Amino acid sequence: MELLLIDAMNLIRRIYAAQQQRAQDPVEETLLHSQNAILKNIERFEASHIACVFDGKGPTWRHELYGDYKADRKPMPDELGRALDTYTKRFESIGISCLLYPQYEADDVIATLALKTADRGGRVRIVSTDKGFMQLSRPTIELYHHFDKRLLNVDDVRQQLDLEPHQLVDFLSLVGDTTNHVPGLPGIGPKTAGQLLDEYGALDNILISSESISGRVGETLRNEYRTALFARQLVRLKTDCQLDLNLQTLRYKKLAKA
């Protein structure tokens, strides 16, 4: 199985932002460009299965846990929001499965499907610019940046972040995730977090060893450990979403010409 997972709003909103500057009808142009982008990626990766995963409109379990989650995120333009039903119908008319689960973020649905497929021997490409997906990286799960035309695998994660993929969650737990308005520990930046993970391997080991860490860093770890543990809950992708979905329903069926 070659599964292509599209982070739908990540792709659509970036295309829409570009079309706002140049198109008379940015909503329609975004639909055409998004459709073509998906079809090109199906061809590029010879996908046998595909899912275009959308976010729901309401709050998810992360918002219930942390009211300020994504507090700085710009709201979706009204005209684009009104058009999404049209988008999904168009995608489905050409054999592209569209998924939306109100209780889950698209990221969690994608993560669940990616691991489920990989565990069954399939290969997965996730189309998104969201580096949070790097925590899923393994030989059979890769992240594709459509706009930069870059495929990121396990080695790329190591080279770019100087971390193992499984350490990304702990790294973000220490420094925070500004994209989603998740706080980190005061005074602990990427360099310090990287050094701590190099020495101790994982967040739990860092916190257990905090009594032996001197200076302001050790003091922060001892005083603010709850912040790091809370952040970890928010930045870790959920991989056990109850989707009630058979992967075979995602098989790509070319129903009509684009």
Q: What is the mean pLDDT of each run of 10 residues along the chain (258 residues)?
A: 97 94 91 96 96 90 91 88 94 95 94 97 96 94 94 88 92 94 94 95 96 95 96 96 93 70
Which pLDDT score is estimated for 71? Answer: 86
* pLDDT for position 120: 94
**Predicted structure pTM score:** 0.93
- Strand, coil or helix: what is 49? strand
So what's the pLDDT on residue 57?
A: 82
What confidence score (pLDDT) does residue 255 get?
64
Q: Which long-range contacts (CB under 8 A, 24 or more apart) does 64-68 make?
A: 65/233, 65/234, 66/182, 66/230, 66/234, 68/181
Distance CA 174, CA 193 (A): 6
Asked if 211 and 222 touch (Cβ cutoff 8 Å), the reply is yes
> Among all chains, which residue has been given the structure tokens 């995963």?
53
